[in-house]
Structure formats: structure tokens, C-alpha cells
Amino acid sequence: MGMRRIGFYLTWNLGSLQSKLGNVLGDELYANSLAQALRKLDSELDVQVYAPNRPPEGRLDAMVYMNDNAPCSEWAAKSLLYLQNAYGEGCDRKLAALRNHGYDGYAFISQKLLDLHQGEGYQGIFLPFGVDVTTFRPQPVDPALAFEVAYVGNDIKGTERSEAYLEPAADFDFGLFGNWYVPRARFRIWKNYLLPRYKKRFERLSRGKILQGQVPVLYSSSKINLNCTIQDCVDWDVITLRTLEVLACDGFLVSDRVPAAQRLLGDYIVFTDGYDQLRTQIRHYLAHDEERQRMARAGGAFVRQNFSIEATADKLLMYLQEL
């Protein structure tokens, strides 16, 4: 079929990238990057990002659902589920339920999950994250963002992973951004004393939301950036978008272990088992500027060459045309 009109549909309202309040929604940023890359591939394509506060007008050729929404047959001739979120129940269980909606196609950030999907008699493609190197690229160092260690995110990784892979950074000059506010239980003060220590520390340390345009500057300016992967992505062997974005900025990255990342990016990332090992690694690389910078520059060049959003968009377009 000839593809002229393509949409990306999000569960949440558009506007998180411009708002000074609330969380930046990575799905909105990524959908915008894919839409822009598709338009570059073919200037005749009409590609837009849609959401509850911006539904499509007229019928599209294809709608790519970025979240677990049931497809709307009135919106598009073809529907594709791009399973690029993580789930507490596990992606495999979520996928089994979502297939009941009857999508025309499926795309996965996990080769392991695609293999399972195909083994059960379904078709789909492996569509790993690609990085928008027009946005995520090396930036001049901003002294105000030149932290010893930096992390951008919200409190969604769980106590065990946060204590292992993030809390050790609180012992250093830590640029922590995101929503780390702890809701207080009125008349239940005793419950607040039972909160994990990292929640209390990070609430005090958090600098709040960082403007999206400053994120690449932070990655380029901070001596060390951290990556903490949600458990579902570890289980399904996913290289996260944060990993690629940090490296694309020539940012130095210390990350928890994901086999695919170790296999493909092992020369450019320092992997850690967390806790005291992470503290030791931070101290080492803070004391060895040349080693750290050489690794970061090599990783940036590799990611910009091999993980572009254009390659991801091209593969997506070819798959949509085959549906």
C-alpha cells in the first residue's frame, strides 16, 4: 500500500516537552524524533504525533501506537503496536493481552521478545531505539551543569535498583533531576520513617525538572552520567534510549548490566554491579580525566554512526509499506 499519512499515537496529552511543570514524557520526545526522521526520508509523507488532546483529522494510512492503546479502525487503515515501554507485570504478559486487540503489525525494542512473539505464530520486526543526533550531540561544557555525577529520571526503578545503581552517587557532587517528591501520609507519620533511605536523600537533592533543551548539555558537561535500567528492560535485554542519548553527546556513562549493551557497547560504557563497586568506579574515573574523555569520545562517534534515528525510521517505513 502507498503510505502518505502516518501517525504516532500517545496515551498522554501532548505538551510535556514545553511545560515547566510535570514530567517530560519520553514517548512524546521519541515519537517526535521518529516523525521528523520519516519526513526527512520522504518529503511527501504527512507524519504527525497524536494524543487525546490532538486526535487525527481524517483517515490515515497507518497509526503507530506507542503505548498499549486499542487501535481505532476509524483513524487508520492499518495499526501497528510499537511495544517500547516497560511493564511491572512483564512485557510478555502485557503482549499476550494486547494481541487480543488485533493490530495489523508489531514492532519491538527487544529481540528476545520478538523471538517469543514469532515462536507463538505472530509476525513483527525488531525496531531498537535510534537516537536523534540533531538533538543529542556534543555540546560545550556549561559550568553550571558540570557535576561530578548526573542522572535525569523519576522514581520508577524500584527500591532495589535505585539503592544499587543511583544512591551511591549521593556521596558526590550529584546533579539529580526529575520528580523525586515523596507524598506525605497525613496522620501516619510512622510510615514516613519506614521510607527507603534513597527516597529521603533524593527528595532533598533533586533539582526538579530540567528543560529538555538542557539535557544534552548536561550529558556533555557532567563528568559521569548514570544509567539505571528498569527491571523489565533488563529481563528482555533492551538497550535503553537513555544509553544512546548520553553516548551521542560524548557523555561518559556508567550503567547497570544489560547483555545487549555489554555486547554492542562494551568498549564505551563502564558497567557496574552497583553499591560500593559503583562508588569505587566513580572515584576512579573522576581521578582519570584523560581515560574518561577518550572513552566518551569513542562511544559518541560509534553511536552516532550506528544507532541513528534515521535507520530506525527507514526500517519502520518499510515494514508499514508491507502491511
Give tens-digit pLDDT for 250-309. Answer: 999 999 999 999 999 999 999 999 999 999 999 999 999 999 999 999 999 999 999 999
**% residues pLDDT > 70 (the chain):** 93
Mean pLDDT of the chain: 93
Confidence of residue 182 (pLDDT cuts 50, 70, 90): confident
Q: Give the per-residue pLDDT at 3.
A: 81
Average pLDDT over residues 147-174: 96
pLDDT of residue 181: 83
Residue 227 bridge partners (DSSP)? 255
The Cα 86–Cα 89 span in angstroms is 9
pLDDT band with cut points at 50, 70 and 90 for residue 30 = very high
The pLDDT score that the predictor gives to residue 191 is: 53
pLDDT at 190: 47
**Distance (Å, rounded) from C-alpha 190 to C-alpha 121?**
52
Confidence of residue 102 (pLDDT cuts 50, 70, 90): very high
Residue 20 predicted with pLDDT over 60:
no
| Nearest alpha-carbon partner for 244 in 223, 261, 256 | 261
Q: Which residue has the higher pLDDT, 192 or 74?
A: 74
Per-residue pLDDT at 193 exceeds 80 = no
Three-state helix/strand/coil letters over the chain: CCCCEEEEECCCCCCCCCCCCCCCCHHHHHHHHHHHHHHHHCCCCEEEEEECCECCCCCEEEEEECCCCCCCCCCEEEEEEEECCCCCCCHHHHHHHHHHHCCCEEEECCHHHHHHHHHCCCCCEECCCCECCCCCCCCCCCHHHCCCEEEECCCCCCHHHHHHHCHHHHHCCEEEECCCCCCCCCCCHHHHHCCCHHHHHHHHHCCCCCCHHHHHHHHHHCCEEEECCCHHHHHCCCCCHHHHHHHHCCCCEEECCCHHHHHHHCCCCEECCCHHHHHHHHHHHHCCHHHHHHHHHHHHHHHHHHCEHHHHHHHHHHHHHHC
What is the per-residue pLDDT for 26?
A: 82
Averaged pLDDT, 144-156: 96
* Domains by residue range for the chain, with CATH: 5-130+308-322 (3.40.50.2000), 143-306 (3.40.50.2000)
Asked if 188 contacts 163 with a C-beta cutoff of 8 angstroms, the reply is no
Please report the pLDDT score of residue 170 as a whole number: 97
pLDDT exceeds cutoff 90 at 17: no
Once rounded to an integer, what is the mean pLDDT over residues 44-49? Answer: 96
Identity of the amino acid at 290: E
CB neighbours (10 Å) of residue 265? 22
292-306 tens-digit pLDDT: 999 999 999 999 999
| Residue 25, pLDDT above cutoff 80 | no
pLDDT band for position 194 (cuts 50, 70, 90): confident
Q: Is the pLDDT of residue 1 over 90?
A: no
| Residue 86 scores a pLDDT above 70 | yes
Residue 132 predicted with pLDDT over 90: yes
pLDDT tens digit string along 112-127?
999 999 999 999 999 9
Q: Compute the average pLDDT of residues 195-200.
A: 90
